[in-house]
Structure 1
């Protein structure tokens, strides 16, 4: 056959959307025949269709009324393109319409994509779909048959004129008023099962309780099912009496309904305790904090077995403290979307530093706990020049953004991209109150009903406007705001977000984006329009969208060039070429490890921390998108030294004059971020105990991980005792513990330090931060020995600790091949320094996602014992662990970590000194990571 064929599926490598978009823009004409066209999918093709229109590329689109799944709104939008002829095949009971074919005509050939995908966001991006692409010569019989069939269907179809679309839309509306069995869910309480997030939380809560813990916190984005999770856990716990406390009454009613739905046959009574209801004698009492704080002494302190505190970030307030200190339940569960608190108290401490689960934005998207978003990064108009401004100069930024042409441009883009659903419900985030007022006035002049809201407005006004925005019959479409809605305000039906201010904080960007991601009836996606200016911090948009907890220039550049392929599900991120080029240029110029950059990052974070100096490392765990404080530690050995320097804080400098204190902080900080948790769990226990036995330490570790060997706990004892330090380390590092008779005991120096509450506070913060961050990144999973997590970052010396190496650990450096017993650690640089003439391993490379080519050190012969262990590793029981990095150094004076890609087995070899091997990897490298390793940007 003369045809070229390939299978097009939705994966990190690519998707049908990518294929269609590039084909639409490069063909001479196109013909689509698809059963359904939804606006969720059409929106993703608007830019390619507009580009085709500008080039004069004509198209015919044929869709159908089959099952009434095609949107009238999508038909209306397609009709606006001058280059598209649109017809609809009207189906009846006898005839269905299932075609999914995309035909592209070129000068010498045709490209035909036929398969399973309609034009919907899921079909184009995330569903399991099979589509076959065939490229064939113009005169081929296959093409002749396809075109003949298309023409036949086209002739039988109706032109989608205004009258047809109007009648179809009215029919759909009348049809929607009648419940359709296909859209109804057969739901009985015994069939409602926990989702993945809820199961993880419940398992962790159960494990914490099994070790005697009586409090815990769950952190998960709004709309991810925390109330259901608490009801599932209560169902398992079976308390005789429950108290559920919330901040707002409307949440209380929904919570009570959820519990009643999940616990219908338990013989329980459910009651409300609010300003209007006094049903405190019921088994399960749902109370507002305003009411329970006034009457809690009417209850016995041991009245409730289980207490739930919803919106737990409020729990540091005095009203909550009175209630929490009075009652003595068997278990207290706190739930929050954001653990930050404006009064600067530590919410973690309230729940004994137990976090059963934390779900941030990317995890919520992956688990489909929130709706997908379609992000369009749009280059702002030329008249807006912010290149010479500090982003702190809000007055001047406001002045420059208040341009009529910009308002017209924003309105044009709002109209072009459209929105999900019948009514637009939009939040516009502005640079200042003045800017928000201006936008509301200008939009109203243009006929778009808008209001401005800010923190000075009374709560009653906010509630009124939110209610109006959500009302389908109300004309209000836009709320422009500056300092509210970042977090804590829930507008589930919001279907559009406008980013109208320069982004200078990933935290704020993520919070604002999150306002529209709540699941809501019939809501499919959120439209996000970001108007990207030429200011100096444009690249922070990429930092926020990338969602990785660690990033460097290379990973950000690859993310931009691949359209953020690592974003899960049907979420779509698209930046126009000017914005992409601008951001890439900034990333090239920026040094993410320079003191200048770190100071800017720190002070921006301080601003988000309500202007308080973030004295504690734990402050950085409160916000999705916060900077990594370990980068600050790297500059000055301890976080406090970094703060003392840039804040010119004399009190901190005085504290750090105690050498034992600073050396202890340096010792603990040098282990961050943790790659195993055992040492810090033991250290935490010793903060409140004089000594710890091996058995007690084992039990403490099992509170946070699902399994661990006693030998690994013993190795942690030995490591803390500095058994594996070299002579220089032993001389310069403080001794915190002593190991004898199978126990660890605090040294007198360490005991004296933590007897001082101020010193103890900072030492405990470093330990708690290490534990919390470990739990966030590694979960409770058992990784075995060696303790490696796939695709995690490691330095060479980490392999010694994580494989229970019982010799001096500092020996693990320098060589690309390190050994501990039957574990061989291969540390590989894909790109070597060009100026090292005698460098080895120039042929180390990925052959594909399953195979790697690696050359042994120059001195290794196949006949040697080590050579035999390498080339026959599987037969000899030798584990080859591969650690790979793209470059040794991306930024000056910053050595890059390696990524662990798992174990592999040699299947082929040749040559000697060095031996060239082909290694089959036990785990296929994920596409996003493979692209990052191999893509040249």
Structure 2
């Protein structure tokens, strides 16, 4: 008989966990033999085991005591399942135990997976592992050998009953070296090396300084190593004296310790400047702003070469401003987890809009700067009906959530999924203070030691309870709260988060999730339980988890259907079927481009902005999970027009009645989001200078990208001169710049706009936002000409701009095949209608991740010059660039194309049109490929 074989590795194409969860609930019986089982891996299999139990599927599991890696907690949990028999192979010094085998019995065949993976979160999802899957008839010799060996192991192992587990636990507790020490590495200051985030930040800081800039900001989530990064940069920069300023004294001592650990044998002294300690003469002074603001003038203005401001979002306050205005260091570094400031000042401006790095949650997970999380979306009990409640009606939501049956349901799930580590340290996020008090009281009455903390409590009381939760010997396990832990407050050892209220903001969701992601020796992952009700805004959970600020309906649906496969590392996101269906249905019904939806998104963001009207685009850079303001621009041509409309703001309307100002806003806003940075860097320079030449422009652009070609700079000058606008555009668009005799100038009209300080602020805001967003999305890479980035979004007209096309750019539309010299641009719609079931064009399609089938325009034949250029493109030096979109339109809005790289013709047939098989130069990543081909 034919034996089916395949290699299973953890990659973007799949992982061992997917294979196991599917096989457990489809087989008739399963048999595992693994060297060790950690709770981090077992938790990911719990739902499959529960489903198997319901279906009457039985299993046997053998693990071992080898190296004491198996966790007793995992053994206890397996024993909770009536359908699984558990045994342990007890090893000794002579005999090791290395098996990693997963056997699934079906009606007349067996599936056997043998390889390198034990049951841990990393082995199942993210480690480099090789596992071979073999499917064979039950009478094959191979299967008989496997089962015989399994039976032998089973008979050689002992039953893992309560008595055995108790003795094993006692043995582990007596070990002088806890079994987590295999994760520890001997560290010497000479050998502590920067992580990926720190390296990127240092490279960018060096580049920023090389162009004469003296200030920069680093934005990175709490716990990602910003202080270490600053110490590494100081080590490289070798300043004579350093001043490190913080907002809170507890951070100060940790920062000083970090520098002491990294900067050794340099002959520098480190000292504290606080209320109690006045070591002003130290080479590196670590000071609180409270102390420094009283004595800064005792130092010379150039006393310090390098100034570091931690929690830099506070630096716009008066106490900081007086200090920062006084000192004149060679370089100033700001560091913050969120560039948000309650007094509404702009922290970006303070650092000359130089952002060396931005690391948000998704980046932090990818760079392993935070621990992975296991998210379980659980459908709330039937008795909770939120379908007809306004999301802002907190009193009514509270009333409906205060149900004893729901408390029991939460506890049942909390105990089923459990948590990492010995003591549970849990934050429960509630709808209101009343709801938090209710949850704490109900948990206490059931024997779970809990308290409620809110903004009403003093800082001292909060600190006291946080310390109690951190303390392994304290009985306190739960803090129920509303908003005080959203950001800025840290309990590093938190190992479980309960989402107990309807999600009405992706920003708040991400902040609450982030409270448990800090690395800590007591945990390897965070358990997140989200109780998902039938509220009308449930789909916001999907937006938050998707990890992308820029999404559409289709990408969200695919993310949900694939279990958010784009989330990096060992992080695991799982929603039950009811929640999935509910969210998919809501997404189908919602129009993300409607004014109603955009207004709701805007006002929710305004709430997060402490109720301030977010007048500036850079306000949207403050929070992970903020909406994309370009959607508001698309709706009303400029962001200010959108704000004026939804706020009914008469002052804004008066400003916008100035035709030149409104024209300048439209001209600049229409270029967002930037597809290349050249134009906006030139504009930034001209906001403070009268003219710019090509050489100067190159110098400025190189502050942001590694390389730039002169022709692209010249083309940018021509574009700003409106050389490639058609007659309609020239009549309707304000001319901001004039290009003459090798120099680019501002026009008189634009100069008149910039003279007005209020107008100028809004103009600067668009430029800052455009540059910052470009840097965030594309870093400082140079993409050549055409200036395309793989798997990014483009409209047809963008190809003209990015290939330095020197004719009218609006001519780039319509035919599906456009050309600029030897560059051919193929624009392809996979489906002609939004409904996937109708009007499918089967001729243009992905064959697989490496090949694409495309039909030329109907008029093309094989003997024409254009036809020959296509079918013999490689020989004739023609580059075929492919741009693909799934649908032409979604919710009445034209969809962008995705650039999938260059392709080369390998087969062709037919005439008018020619059907061409193209081999792609870059394999399509599974995430992108799935989004194109998956039917949801």
Instruction: Name the TM tier (shorter chain).
Output: over 0.9
Greater mean deviation of Cα atoms: 439-448 or 691-700? 691-700
Seen in structure 2, the aligned counterparts of structure 1 residues 178 and 591 have a Cα distance that, compared at 3 Å, is closer
- How many Å separate the matches in 1 of 2:49 and 2:107? 20
Please say if residues 841 and 857 of structure 1, whose CA atoms lie closer than 8 Å, have aligned partners that are also in contact: no
Unaligned runs of 5+ in 2: none
Q: Flag as ranges the 4+ runs of structure 1 deviating above 3 A.
A: 176-184, 833-836, 839-842
Query: Post-superposition shift, 1:184?
Result: 3.5
Please say if residues 693 and 742 of structure 1, whose CA atoms lie closer than 8 Å, have aligned partners that are also in contact: yes
- 2:814 aligned partner: 814
SS at match of 1:267: coil
Query: Post-superposition shift, 1:104?
Result: 1.4
Please say if residues 840 and 858 of structure 1, whose CA atoms lie closer than 8 Å, have aligned partners that are also in contact: no
SS at match of 1:191: coil
Greater mean deviation of Cα atoms: 585-594 or 142-151? 142-151
- How many Å separate the matches in 1 of 2:470 and 2:522? 14
SS at match of 2:175: helix
Question: What does 1:231-270 correspond to in 2, within 5 Å?
Answer: 231-270=231-270
- How many Å separate the matches in 2 of 1:667 and 1:2? 65
- 1:580 aligned partner: 580
- 2:649 aligned partner: 649
- How many Å separate the matches in 1 of 2:616 and 2:91? 65
- 1:343 aligned partner: 343
The answer as to 2:894 corresponding to 1:898 is no
SS at match of 1:436: helix
Please say if residues 834 and 889 of structure 2, whose CA atoms lie closer than 8 Å, have aligned partners that are also in contact: no
- 1:479 aligned partner: 479
| Deviations, residues 144-180 of structure 1 (Å, cap 9, x unaligned) | 1111111111111111111211111122122254698
| Deviations, residues 772-822 of structure 1 (Å, cap 9, x unaligned) | 111111111111111111111000000000111111101001111110011
| Deviations, residues 352-386 of structure 1 (Å, cap 9, x unaligned) | 11100001111111111111000000000011000
Greater mean deviation of Cα atoms: 141-150 or 326-335? 141-150
- How many Å separate the matches in 2 of 1:392 and 1:859? 58
Query: Post-superposition shift, 1:876?
Result: 1.5
TM-score by length of 1: 0.98
- How many Å separate the matches in 2 of 1:155 and 1:258? 53
- 2:451 aligned partner: 451
- How many Å separate the matches in 2 of 1:384 and 1:784? 56
Query: Post-superposition shift, 1:551?
Result: 1.3
- 2:888 aligned partner: 888
The answer as to 2:770 corresponding to 1:736 is no
Number of residue-to-residue matches in the alignment = 935
Please say if residues 841 and 854 of structure 1, whose CA atoms lie closer than 8 Å, have aligned partners that are also in contact: no
Question: What does 1:141-540 correspond to in 2, within 5 Å?
Answer: 141-175=141-175, 177=177, 182-540=182-540
SS at match of 2:908: strand
| Deviations, residues 834-882 of structure 1 (Å, cap 9, x unaligned) | 999xx99751111110111111111111111111111111122111111
- How many Å separate the matches in 2 of 1:880 and 1:107? 50
- 1:876 aligned partner: 876
Query: Post-superposition shift, 1:2?
Result: 3.3
- How many Å separate the matches in 2 of 1:796 and 1:291? 58
SS at match of 1:825: strand
Please say if residues 704 and 780 of structure 1, whose CA atoms lie closer than 8 Å, have aligned partners that are also in contact: yes
Query: Post-superposition shift, 1:181?
Result: 7.2
Please say if residues 565 and 928 of structure 1, whose CA atoms lie closer than 8 Å, have aligned partners that are also in contact: yes
- How many Å separate the matches in 2 of 1:7 and 1:210? 48
Please say if residues 372 and 525 of structure 1, whose CA atoms lie closer than 8 Å, have aligned partners that are also in contact: yes
| Deviations, residues 603-643 of structure 1 (Å, cap 9, x unaligned) | 10101010111011110111111111111111111111111
- How many Å separate the matches in 2 of 1:180 and 1:113? 28
Seen in structure 2, the aligned counterparts of structure 1 residues 180 and 461 have a Cα distance that, compared at 3 Å, is closer
Question: What does 1:602-681 correspond to in 2, within 5 Å?
Answer: 602-681=602-681
- 1:53 aligned partner: 53
Greater mean deviation of Cα atoms: 164-173 or 118-127? 164-173
SS at match of 1:443: helix
- 2:590 aligned partner: 590
- How many Å separate the matches in 2 of 1:84 and 1:561? 29
- 2:745 aligned partner: 745
Query: Post-superposition shift, 1:13?
Result: 2.3
- 1:10 aligned partner: 10
Seen in structure 2, the aligned counterparts of structure 1 residues 143 and 56 have a Cα distance that, compared at 3 Å, is same
Unaligned runs of 5+ in 1: none
Please say if residues 841 and 855 of structure 1, whose CA atoms lie closer than 8 Å, have aligned partners that are also in contact: no
Please say if residues 841 and 856 of structure 1, whose CA atoms lie closer than 8 Å, have aligned partners that are also in contact: no
Query: Post-superposition shift, 1:742?
Result: 0.5
- How many Å separate the matches in 2 of 1:326 and 1:627? 37
- How many Å separate the matches in 2 of 1:161 and 1:916? 66
- How many Å separate the matches in 1 of 2:14 and 2:23? 14
Seen in structure 2, the aligned counterparts of structure 1 residues 616 and 184 have a Cα distance that, compared at 3 Å, is closer
- 2:701 aligned partner: 701
- 2:723 aligned partner: 723
| Deviations, residues 182-233 of structure 1 (Å, cap 9, x unaligned) | 4441222221211111111111111111111110000011111111111111
Seen in structure 2, the aligned counterparts of structure 1 residues 145 and 435 have a Cα distance that, compared at 3 Å, is same
Query: Post-superposition shift, 1:680?
Result: 0.8
Report the aligned-residue RMSD.
1.5
- 1:768 aligned partner: 768
- 2:924 aligned partner: 925
Query: Post-superposition shift, 1:256?
Result: 1.0
Seen in structure 2, the aligned counterparts of structure 1 residues 335 and 89 have a Cα distance that, compared at 3 Å, is same
